[in-house]
Amino acid sequence: MILQRLKLSFSMKPLWAVCLLVLVALILYIRVLGFEYVWDDTSIFFIAIEVLQNGNLTLSGLAQPMISQGGKYFRPLVMLTYYWEVSMAGFNPALSHGTNLALFIINALLVFSICQNLAEKNERKNPVRLAFFASLLYIIHPAMTEAAAWISVRFDLLATFFILSATSVYLGSARRRLKVALVSLLTFLALLCKETGAMLPAALLCIWFSLNSNSRESSKTLYLRALREHAGFISGFLMVFVAYIALRFYITQNVSFESIVGSENLYDRLFGILETFKFYLHQSFWPFFTISGVHPLAQISPWSLVDILGNALALLIAAFLGIQAFHKRSGPAWLFLAGFTYLILVLRILPIAIGDNIGHERFLTTPLAFWVMAMVLIRYDIILSSQRVTKLFSSMSFLSAQRVSWILAAVWILAASFTTIVNIPFWKNELALWGRNYSLFPDDRVSRHNYIYSAFSAKRYDLAEQALDKIVSDGHGFEIVEQIIYANILVIKNDPESLDYFEGIINHIPEFHTHEMPDSQENLEKLISGEKTVTIALAYHGYSAAVFIFRAAPEQALALNDTALWYAKPMGNKFVSDLEYRNVAYLYAMGEFEKGDVLRRKIESDVGVELTRKATESLLTAYCWNTSVAEHCKELRKRGLLAPVSSPTGAEVYPHT
């Protein structure tokens, strides 16, 4: 009786289904509008500001590398959306998250539309119900958290939008010439968002085979008919791809990608492919415990029995899908293969890098759209009424195969929804994101560095110290980034040892800023990576504060911070402003009040009045605890540049003034 009522309630109209899907997506993800920029977001938007300020809104400007060093990315259409946001509202995470959320919801609705179309073409009962479940699975899937909650995943979201739009046009009833033209245009737009657009032709062929799975033609005849019917599409794709490669080479002088990290050993190469395939299968069908921003390669071992057995299982699944598609001519199996085509570029089959990670959930943004459709279009009624299944449940009067299938589906949906709800807040800010990654992979260098840095930036010095103490207790030494943060914590704790620590760090850093190297500023990006540039800038920035506070030497501190700004300059004006505020305090301490006021007003427009005031007061107050500058600090106090501190009695007092 309950199942009958459920079936009745699921016989919904398309409009109600769409409204309910949008409501579910908003309930889950509306809170991302309050999230901050994280990880690569800041790099993208800082450079977007630079391009706009320099009037360089050209294809060359749009194609410059914002995440990958060396100009390996060519995704101008996505960059254009970022520039548009910056020109409209400046740094506005709510607008950026809102744009991504809108794209995510539109993609989910395209999944609904395409699945309904496929179900109708296959003459399935209740096509709206099937399409609703496919779209619902896409929305609540934990692997989609990264796509919906991280601004930088717009590459995948926008590419998926054009891919699904092309698929919808392909399945539509437009005239063939118009259909070929529109699909070719959408393919080109997808390529301008991400390279996965190149796999659209193969995916559309898989969809055609899924629709013709009941054909009684021989395999050879069926394949030849597929080629004949797609001759126009293939010609359009070839023209689009040639135009894309030509444009990419013309703008970037490069059509290659970064090579994958790994051995040329055949076993290692095959192991890497299977391990990556297993990872994406696991994150798609059992995504309840390992959703994370990083998945380090170091966690796997080519000769581990568990990994070997897991890879063997992944190989069996791949073989099973191949048999179901090519031999059994299963429509859903062909849909699985359609989704699989969009993973080929990140399966380590081709020499394309994805960093030191096995994979990323964001790469499932497009494949999952087809896999959820395949899952709901499987003929469960035929499977559940088969003789083997019927015999299995014949002795269980209280359970039927259909009831068990409903229970399993409900449990999976509830578990997926709960996992998604739990994982969304991890993208709220840097500390939450890297705290999650660090908790899962404490030995991963990237996770550890970013967690310590984000804890320090959030003024959670206790968390940063705990992570640093763990490094020592594990018998390891600090890397340079960790040394810099540790030294900065010593400054904050008013420990003069920070001076020696910083001097030791600086002595081991090559002086790229000296005039001994001709054109060193222009060649800086060729000499060292952006990550190392930031590291060196932060070292000199921290050293300047230590010299200022413990040596009471504002002139030397100013020179050191100017060196930090030299390294910070290639990273954009916003990063420069984040370091330059200390120069205001140094100028005030030198008695250069007019210059300090001019610089303060400039920085306030970039960083904010309150933040600039508090940072300047804090630094000058620490400086004035040095008795040798007591007389000068009286003038600083008169000008309201010092912050009072609480004495043991509770009274507010100023340093030696």
* Structural domain spans, the chain: 2-421, 478-653
The helix (H) or strand (E) run that includes residue 634 is helix 630-638
For the domain covering 478-653, report its CATH number.
1.25.40
Q: Which long-range contacts (CB under 8 A, 24 or more apart) does 316-321 make?
A: 317/281, 318/277
The span from the CA of 64 to the CA of 325, in Å, is 41
Instruction: Tell me the per-residue pLDDT of 591-620, one tens digit each, with 9 for 90 and over.
Output: 888 888 888 888 777 667 777 778 788 888
The span from the CA of 578 to the CA of 80, in Å, is 26
Task: Write the Ramachandran bin of 55: left for phi over 0, alpha for psi from -120 to 50, otherwise beta.
Answer: left
Comparing 112 with 307, the larger pLDDT belongs to: 112
Question: Over 70: is that where the pLDDT of 516 sits?
Answer: no
Calculate mean pLDDT across residues 430-437: 93
Instruction: Tell me the per-residue pLDDT of 435-485, one tens digit each, with 9 for 90 and over.
Output: 999 999 988 888 998 899 899 888 888 999 999 999 988 888 888 888 888
pLDDT given at position 398: 65
pLDDT given at position 31: 96
pLDDT given at position 61: 58
Confidence of residue 59 (pLDDT cuts 50, 70, 90): low
Provide CB contacts within 8 A for 510, sequence distance 6+: none
Instruction: Tell me the per-residue pLDDT of 370-399, one tens digit each, with 9 for 90 and over.
Output: 999 999 999 888 887 777 777 776 766 667
pTM equals 0.86
Are 483 and 475 in contact, with CB atoms under 8 Å apart?
no
Instruction: Tell me the per-residue pLDDT of 477-507, one tens digit each, with 9 for 90 and over.
Output: 888 888 888 888 888 888 888 888 888 888 8
Are 188 and 212 in contact, with CB atoms under 8 Å apart?
no
Instruction: Tell me the per-residue pLDDT of 311-328, one tens digit each, with 9 for 90 and over.
Output: 889 899 999 999 999 988
Percent of the chain with pLDDT over 90: 37
Buried b (16+ CB within 10 A) or exposed e, 458-484: eeeeebbbebbeebeeeeeebebbbbb
pLDDT given at position 320: 93
Confidence of residue 48 (pLDDT cuts 50, 70, 90): low
pLDDT given at position 11: 55
Provide CB contacts within 8 A for 323, sequence distance 6+: none
CA dihedral 226, 231, 237, 239 (to 10 degrees): 160
pLDDT given at position 607: 66
Which residue, 307, 438, 285, 432, is CA-closest to 364? 285
Tell me the two tokens of residue 316.
Answer: 């069996």
Are 127 and 116 in contact, with CB atoms under 8 Å apart?
yes
Calculate mean pLDDT across residues 510-539: 62
Are 370 and 335 in contact, with CB atoms under 8 Å apart?
yes
The span from the CA of 74 to the CA of 193, in Å, is 8
Chain-centroid distance, C-alpha 632: 50
pLDDT given at position 267: 64
Tell me the two tokens of residue 368.
Answer: 């999952």
Provide CB contacts within 8 A for 417, sequence distance 6+: 28, 140
